[in-house]
Structure 1
Amino acid sequence: MPHEPDPPPAKRFKPGSPFFRLDKRPGGMLLPRASHAPTSLDVQRKQLPIYQARTQLINQLRQLHNAVLIGETGSGKTTQIPQYLYEAGIGRQGVIAVTQPRRVAALSLAGRVAEEKRVQLGKLVGYTVRFEDVTSSETKLKFMTDGMLLREAIGDPLLLRYTVVILDEAHERTVHTDVLFGVVKTAQRKRTEQNKVPLKVLVMSATMDVDLFSQYFNKSPVLYLEGRQHPIQIYYTKRPQSDYLQAALVSIFQIHQEAPPSHDILVFMTGQEEIEALARTCRDIAKHLPDTCVPMTVIPLYASLPPTQQLRVFQPTPKGSRKVVLSTNIAETSITISGIKYVIDTGMVKAKRYNPDSGLEVLAVQRVSKAQAWQRAGRAGREDAGFCYRLYTEEEFDNLANMTVPEIQRCNLASVVLQLLALGVPDVLNFDFMSKPSPESLRMAVEQLYILGAVEKKDEQVLLTPLGKNMACLPLEPRFSKTVLMSPDFSCTEEVLTIISLLSVDSVLYNPPARRDDVLAVRKKFISSEGDHMTLLNIYRAFRKVSGNKDWCRENFVNSRNMGLVSEVRAQLKDICIKMNMKMESSQSDLANVRRCLAHGLFMNAAELQLDGSYVALDTHQTVAIHPSSVLFQAKPAYVVFNELLHTTRCYMRDLCLVDSDWLHEAAPEYFRRKLRASRS
């Protein structure tokens, strides 16, 4: 690529800036669009690029059963196409579903479309996400997470309530999206065979492997929508950055001190802990800047934030202030945050990788793909010309993978297989996946479900057991579902629901490094020698005793937002358990029963102390260690169960619970006879 001189805006940045050159988005020059004053919703709708193609689009969609729509971010496809279909009477005899990979996108899009239609949210336009349903019998335009449509398909495999399913942000290729592709395709075929009302399927994205999607959906036509991308100037670093967090911090304040106040910044990071730590640092530094600097409003954004907190990013920035949004890849494509002029891309993302040979699932920080990098850059050009600062060199960019590996090919498939069986898929191993996982991954998933007692094998067929059917009713990982379902046998359902809810959200503990001694002193009163699960239970009980008091949370270094989310998740799980006629009992102060129940559900995540002081995971025979954040870090219990393995410098067990070897044998006698023999041989 020929070198170009630095563009004029680069001169605004101080000498010694790590950035050095401009690149252009592939696909030719992008021309700026004249800006316009804020206008009414109707006028705004008509100014979207998609409006020009409205009539042609409706005529095409009226005739097609399937279509793949590619539209630049900003073309208006997600908000307008459902409305165009409804207004044209297409699919009105049922519901038009629009699926999103993320909860925050479903919420914000439903809100926007309800506003444009001038209706109350939950009437004509509604949304359904995990643990929240804002719809009614009047709802005709329904925004939902793909996981929710999958859950509906368990009770209605033909999706007969729906006349149109729009699979949006399809390129994200989450596990749920990939399974949903197959479920929707099957429902469409069967409805035609049975002479039912036909199902129209639209697949939408800003970028994707068009041929793959078109082929999969019966060679469906591809419709291209003109976009509204403004020019973006892209800067790379001169040298590789050893610490992307430090580089992000420097870049934020470099821009903050030089750029006009109305220009907001979006920073892409990898996870909650990283985001919260950088948010605190930014706020501290901003307090000590000279008065000539504009005030800075720092807003975190990640999936486990309560919805009210997530929606803060959409609020207008106070006049004369700058908004700095620190986000995971949730802001890559799913949502549009107005005012963003600068994007800082760390080039990193947190992703799960599963190795079926070792049985090890690792959540690790890794490089983004080129497709992700372009999506991130595009966030800066939604409303006007923008700038993207990549915290990596151009050479590093050239070496990135073109596309992200679909999640279905790099995760543990036990949940997927359980869901497919609940959906009535007769041959799970040969399910019509768009990107087929390895046969070994599928076999391992079936084996795990068999060990958990969720499936049985009859004449080469895999069938759900009664326990498996109940496990599929809970929106949890199979091992957590089993733990909840076993809890009445140990008279501790209330405690187990609390613990599983605590494990289902990001950490409720807040550990500022600068106040390490204060944290340790305060936590002492909650710490249980029986492990992290019991410690978390103690903290939750104390939180409930003070009715979630915010001052109490601050004093005890508890994340009140995440605790609020735990209460919501717990209430929803309890509702499901009550509907399944489960006994709601509490073990009160007798926590041995709670630990015994955890051993029965999490026994595949068990580890045994070795003579040399190390631990071996009994399922995989992998050498593991207790994570320094665990209350058992200094202890050496003979047996523990853990929630997850985290691979950094070594393989660490996170969230541990002390268990007896007898309980493990009691939970799965044959499995442990086999495993213990192997670990000692």
Structure 2
Amino acid sequence: MSTKYNQLQEQRSHLPTFEYKQDLVDAIREYNILVIIGETGSGKTTQIPQYIMEELPELKKVGVTQPRRIAAITGKFQFAKRVSEEQGERLGSLVGYNIRFDDRTSVDTRLVYMTDGILLREATMDPCLNKYDVIVIDEAHERTLETDVLFGLLKQTHRQRPDLKILIMSATLDVAKFSDFFGECPIFEIPGRTYPVKVVYSLDAPKLATIKSAFVDRAVETAWTIHTQQPEGDILVFLTGQQDIERACKAFSQKDRDCDYRRQVKFYNHGDGVSRAAVYPLFASLETFEQKAVFELPRQGERKIVFATNVAQTSVTIPGIRYVVDSGFVKEKSFDPNTGMDALLVTEISQAAAIQRAGRAGRTAPGKAYRLYNQESFERMEPNTIPEIQRSSLLGTVLALKTMNIVDVINFEFIDPPEETLVKNALKQLYLLEAIDEEGKITKLGVKMNHFPLSPCLARVLLASVDLQCSYEVLIITSMLAGDMELFKSPRKEEEAIEAEKCKIKLAHHTGDHMTYLNVWHEWKWRGKSRKWCKENYINYKVLETASNVRSQLMDVMDKLSLKIIKGPLIKRKKSKSSKRHIGDNDHGESVDPVPVLRSFLTGYFTNIANKAAHRSVFSHYAPDEHLGRTSAGVSSTALVALHLHPLCALSNMLDKAKIQYSELDWIMYTNITYTNKAVMKGVSKILWDWVKQGDGQARIRKLPQTRLNGEAQPSVEAEDLQAKQKQQAAEKEQNNIASLKDLEESKKRRAEEIDMIRQRALARRKKE
């Protein structure tokens, strides 16, 4: 055996899980459903699946799920790479991984690490999950939308396949809910090797609301105070998003450069201390090589300072952290079904999140957690974070459930049911996309849509492009949109920002974002997919690289569904004196006709259209019917909100440079709206009103009141006759009851009169006597 293999085996034996290996194996053998608690870093993700393979050979295949954002931050499943090394095997053979658009498994693979979304898609194709003997839901405390749906599906699957072993692994002690949901199944606890953490509250911040506008500056100042006055140990600072993190990194780095460590730094009980700081950002869209740097140990005499989003809260262990700075805020996305908008707002964290953040400081030694709020603010926080399923659009989720012939989606067994409004909104949208029929049953088109690892809207666009004979171009644009990352970079330096703006205008297409994405792809491909060209033009190379992988997988799906990939019609550019090639042109001076491409996108997003407000530089959402995006008062919620173009939108750039006028933007289509401090449209392109009129979307909108989208049974003629007869009988019975009551009242009245007459006669006799 190699030296590295022996070292890995030695490291395995020192993990907290190793001490409980036999007890774990016995529990897994005895129980088919088991909840396992283990702190992050205990080894449960990498070791428990190996124990199953090594000690329970009768269990042939193991599937381990991770939330997608955790998979992104750990770089294409480092877990799988680590486990394959510990097993002494090549990645993709005995151990592999499967994430969206990247499958590294083979027929020999026994252990598969995958995103929860991948397993959810597999469950729609095979509800019994027959190819697996063990399913491990890891990081269950993250409570992602896909994980919550998987809970419900696995509960149903277990009724059909009692032999399937289900392990729920979580890093939090609040797991009674998981156990109760699965019939009070046993809980196995792996004690973590944690150290005491001292919580330090801020005394000069009476309320969280008072620091909301300045928490980044306060976080930097607190981190700097720790760095200059506390003993060795790395610092983890929790902020809300990329913009805040980049600003904090810049501010801290400037302080580090200006600091004379020999005079200013005071280290207590720690010799000479450190002589410099290494500052790192950490967020999901960070380049892979930059993410990896965060997890490396600092050099001698250097302190690592990490500014991170809540991705570092529970599921990612950064070695060496002894100090945590908790801003008390998180950037959270919430979907509003009345407006169809995602609100991306900075909100207060929950008590559970604050406790989890503090726990990051006690992984390797006693630590301290500095909270930028007081204890009263902590006590006023919500006890737990709202699960994602209760604040997200359920479009893809409901389509997956319908594909599995789950008719009554509203009453599906969720661990925490979403609001009925969210489910009904998703049903309406799926009906409008022709994915389900009037009775809520999935259509042939809906089945095809579910084959694509895309949002239902993008899948519908791709299918429409086949009919409109431009699937080649739409496939490229869809692949770029699927990554959900910004294509163009926004540098902070003024000189670079000006250059970046020029590049965006140069590459922009006059119709808007969708054709601009196609322009960028063609230019990148024409230049040999050059990383250098991307850097020079301030383009995110990761978006194009990911899109290339996505496109390959989507082509495979289209091939399986026998869908043709057809190049759209070309337009010959008018001759000009300049012989210079135009952006987006081929070698013959021809460019792609944008009309069929944009009409394909309109098929999937015909409810996402807006027109320009008169005499104003904003737009209003077009709500053609009271059944879409309307409040109880009958007024469109979205129509009341002014819609703005995103600063990186191609049309916005051209408006700024007077390349086009607002008068040219009568009607536009957008892919989504995000609300931060105002409603901002992304993925915007110009359209013609005639395209909307010619589509059948308006007709489907008008049919909405007659639909039974949750699958309520359509009554037969006999049932209707019986119902009418029962109503008539009930009415007659009611009439008889009323008549009987009247007779009774009359009888009571007569009896009272008789009694009164008898009483009067008796009184008269007494007087006479």
TM-score by length of 2: 0.76
Tell whether the 8 Å contact from 1:457 to 1:463 is kept in structure 2 after alignment.
yes
- Work out which of the residue numbers 449, 464, 470 in structure 2 matches 1:492: 470
Matches within 5 A, 1:204-353: 204-207=169-172, 209-237=174-202, 238-239=204-205, 240-241=210-211, 242-258=213-229, 263-279=233-249, 286=256, 290=260, 294=275, 296-305=277-286, 307=288, 309-353=290-334
Q: Please say if residues 548 and 560 of structure 1, whose CA atoms lie closer than 8 Å, have aligned partners that are also in contact.
A: no
Which residue does the alignment assign to 2:379?
398
Using the TM superposition, give the Cα deviation of residue 608 of structure 1 relative to its aligned residue in structure 2, in angstroms: 1.9
Deviates further, 344-353 or 367-376? 344-353
Change (3 A) 1:119 1:646: same
Map 1:600-639 to 2 at 5 A.
Answer: 600-613=603-616, 614-619=618-623, 620=629, 621=636, 622=638, 623-629=641-647, 630-633=649-652, 634=655, 635-636=661-662, 637-639=665-667
**In the aligned structure 2, how far is the partner of 1:248 from the partner of 1:671?**
54
User: Following the alignment from structure 2 to structure 1, what is the Cα–Cα distance between the partners of residues 259 and 533?
Assistant: 31
Deviation at 1:549, TM superposition (A): 3.0
Q: Matched residue of 1:233: which SS? A: strand
More deviation in 514-523 or 482-491? Answer: 514-523
| 1:646 equivalent in alignment to 2:663 | no
Seen in structure 2, the aligned counterparts of structure 1 residues 444 and 397 have a Cα distance that, compared at 3 Å, is: same
- The residue identity in structure 1 corresponding to 2:444 is P
Q: Is the contact between residue 64 and residue 138 of structure 2 (CA under 8 Å) also seen in structure 1?
A: yes
Correspondence for 2:71: 103
Report the alpha carbon displacement of residue 180 of structure 1 after superposing the two structures with TM.
0.7
* Aligned twin of 2:271: none
Question: SS of the counterpart of 1:603?
Answer: coil
- Alpha-carbon contact 2:240-2:331 (below 8 Å) kept: yes
Amino acid at match of 2:59: Q
User: Is the 1:74–1:229 Cα contact (8 Å) retained in structure 2?
Assistant: no
**Structure 2 CA distance for aligned equivalents of residues 308 and 493 of structure 1:** 34
Secondary structure in structure 1 of the residue aligned to 2:120: helix
CA deviation after TM superposition for structure 1 residue 455, in Å = 0.7
- When residues 111 and 406 of structure 1 are mapped into structure 2, their CA distance, relative to the original with a 3 A threshold, is same
Task: Quote the residue 1:8 is aligned against.
Answer: none
Please identify, of 374-383 and 245-254, the stretch whose mean Cα deviation from structure 2 is larger: 245-254
CA contact (8 A) 1:73 1:228 kept: no
Q: Which residue of 2 aligns with 1:170?
A: 140
Q: Compared with structure 1, are the counterparts of its residues 275 and 595 closer, same or farther at alpha carbon in structure 2 (3 Å cutoff)? A: farther
Bigger Cα Rg: 2
SS of alignment partner, residue 34 of structure 2: strand
Aligned with 2:556: secondary structure? helix
Q: Following TM superposition, by how much is the alpha carbon of 1:454 offset from its aligned partner in structure 2, in angstroms? A: 0.7
Aligned partner of 1:42 in structure 2 is 9
Question: Which residue of structure 2 aligns with residue 31 of structure 1?
Answer: none
Contact 1:606–1:641 (CA under 8 A) maintained in structure 2: yes
User: Match for residue 403 of structure 2?
Assistant: 422
**Counterpart code for 1:46:** S
Secondary structure in 1 matching 2:237? strand
Displacement, 1:295? 5.0
Native 8 Å contact 1:451 1:668 kept in 2: no
Q: How many residues align?
A: 627
Please give the alpha-carbon distance, in whole angstroms, between the structure 1 residues aligned to 2:550 and 2:247.
25
Structure 1 residue 190: Cα displacement? 0.5
Cα separation, 1, equivalents of 2:396 and 2:646: 29
How far residue 625 of structure 1 moved from its aligned partner, in angstroms, is: 2.0
% identical aligned pairs: 37
Paired amino acid for 1:149: L
Distance 2:553 2:217 in 1: 40
Q: Deviations over 1:42-94 (max 9, x none)?
A: 3433333333333233222211111112223343322222222222216x332
Q: 2:249 & 2:529 partners in 1: Cα distance?
A: 23
- The amino acid across from 2:478 in the alignment is I
User: What is the Cα deviation at residue 470 of structure 1?
Assistant: 1.1
2:678 is equivalent to residue 655 of structure 1:
no
Aligned-pair CA distance for 1:148: 0.9
**CA deviation string 1:265-315 (max 9, x = no partner):** 333333344444544555566556558674544444333445555444333
Map of 1:578 onto structure 2: 559
- 1:179 to partner: Cα distance: 0.8
Give the whole-Å Cα distance in 1 for the aligned partners of 2:172 and 2:347.
21
- Return the offset for 1:471: 0.8
Q: Does residue 127 of structure 2 align to residue 157 of structure 1?
A: yes
Shift of the 151–628 alpha-carbon distance from structure 1 to 2, 3 Å rule, reads: closer
CA contact (8 A) 1:626 1:632 kept: no
Structure 1 residue 334: Cα displacement: 2.1
Q: Distance in 1 between matches of 2:604 and 2:450?
A: 15
Letter in 2 for 1:369: S
RMSD, matched Cα: 2.7
Once the two structures are TM-superposed, the CA of residue 167 in structure 1 deviates from its matched residue by 1.1
Matched, 1:594 2:565: no
2:756 match: none
Query: Are the counterparts in 2 of residues 605 and 642 from structure 1 also a CA contact under 8 Å?
Result: yes
Q: 1:303 to 1:390 in 2, by over 3 A?
A: same
Unaligned runs of 5+ in 2: 1-5, 263-273, 569-590, 624-628, 630-635, 656-660, 704-769
1:418 to partner: Cα distance: 0.5
Aligned with 1:501 (options 474, 479, 488): 479
How far off is 1:177 after superposition?
Answer: 0.2
Cα separation, partners in 2 of 1:472 and 1:287, compared to 1, 3 Å: farther
Partner letter of residue 154 of structure 2? V
Spell out the pairing of 1:4-15 with structure 2 (5 A cutoff). Answer: none
* 2:323–2:368 CA contact under 8 A, matched in 1: yes
Deviations 1:404-435 (A, max 9, x none): 11111111111101111223324323221111
Amino acid at match of 1:95: K
From the superposition, tell whether residues 673 and 370 of structure 1 become closer, same or farther in structure 2 (CA, over 3 Å): closer
Partner in structure 2 of residue 24 of structure 1: none
Q: CA deviation at 1:437?
A: 1.4
Q: Offset at 1:259?
A: 5.2
Which residue is 1:35 aligned to? none
> SS state of the match for residue 513, structure 1?
coil
Runs of 4+ in 1 over 6 A off after TM superposition: none
Which amino acid counterpart does residue 12 of structure 2 have in structure 1?
Answer: R
Larger displacement relative to structure 2 (348-357 or 214-223)? 348-357
Corresponding residue for residue 453 of structure 1:
434
